[in-house]
Amino acid sequence: MKKTLLIFFGELRTFEYVIPHLKKLDKVDVMLSTWMESKRYDDKFEIDENKIHEIYPNIKYCNIVDFKQIDDFKSKNNSWKVQHHWKTSINSIKNYDEYDTVILHRCDLISNWHTILDMDTKDDTIYLHYVEYHPSQKIDAYPADFWVNDYYFFGKPTLVKKFINLMNSKFNKSPHYDMWEVIDKNNINIENVVLKAALVRDKDIEWHQNNEINPSDLSPLQGPEFKENVKTII
């Protein structure tokens, strides 16, 4: 029986406060793709595999990116940085055939991601959270017809890998718009999945540390102001 691969990506930030609230991590292989340095409040701290395994001992794959080896890293925007984690993590997996589904999920997000395990995913579809809006609702930041959430997405391994590798430096406008560019220009089928979730920022650490949280009790994620036509599937 094939397995599911769950890839956490982005700055480590509040990952250690998120992990205790996530369910069914023992049902999947877990990978973490993060930078060699992160920041919490105003304090920077270095990251290595030992640090990651202290937080979650069952991490199977670590992709710790040394940004000092990236040319002009300081000039890269958030879209490029997010895509870099997606690409370097997905392209580092050698045994793709052992997985049925690949899920990408932000490090600082508490969610009911585990409900994805009960879904039957199609071979030709990327599952994510998007919002379709009327032309009268358009705002300059999102010139397409769809706003796409970059907090998580998932699907069959071959399609997820194709989707990620189709992204390139000519986009890099914003993660939301870049994702839609790839979907639109390559006729990729998508299905709307709106998880119940909440980001854990620095200001939220103490509260999340001291309270037991059931992700299923959280509110469904919302899009920007033009959040019509959103249907919660999960």
pLDDT truncated to tens, each residue of the chain (234 aa)?
Answer: 899 999 999 988 899 999 999 999 999 999 999 998 777 777 787 888 999 999 999 999 999 988 888 888 787 888 888 999 999 999 999 888 899 999 999 999 999 999 999 999 999 999 999 887 655 555 555 555 678 899 999 999 999 999 999 988 665 667 888 898 899 899 999 999 999 999 998 888 888 888 888 988 898 987 765 444 443 333
Helix H or strand E encompassing 151: strand 146-155
Q: Is 43 helix (H, G, I), strand (E, B) or coil?
A: strand
Confidence at residue 222, expressed as pLDDT on a 0 to 100 scale? 79
Radius of gyration of the chain (CA): 17
* Res 139: pLDDT: 53
Question: Which CATH code fits 3-217?
Answer: 3.90.550
Nearest to 115 by CA among 9, 229, 27, 203: 27
Helix (H, G, I), strand (E, B) or coil at 136: helix
Are 220 and 194 a contacting pair, CB within 8 Å? yes
For the chain, what is the total number of helices (H) and then of strands (E)? 6, 11
Q: Are 227 and 149 in contact (CB under 8 A)?
A: no
Q: What does the domain layout of the chain look like in residue ranges?
A: 3-217
Task: Please provide residue 220's backbone torsions phi and psi, each rounded to the nearest 5 degrees.
Answer: -60, 140
Entry pTM:
0.90
DSSP 212: -
Instruction: Give the pLDDT confidence score for residue 138 in this predicted structure.
Output: 54
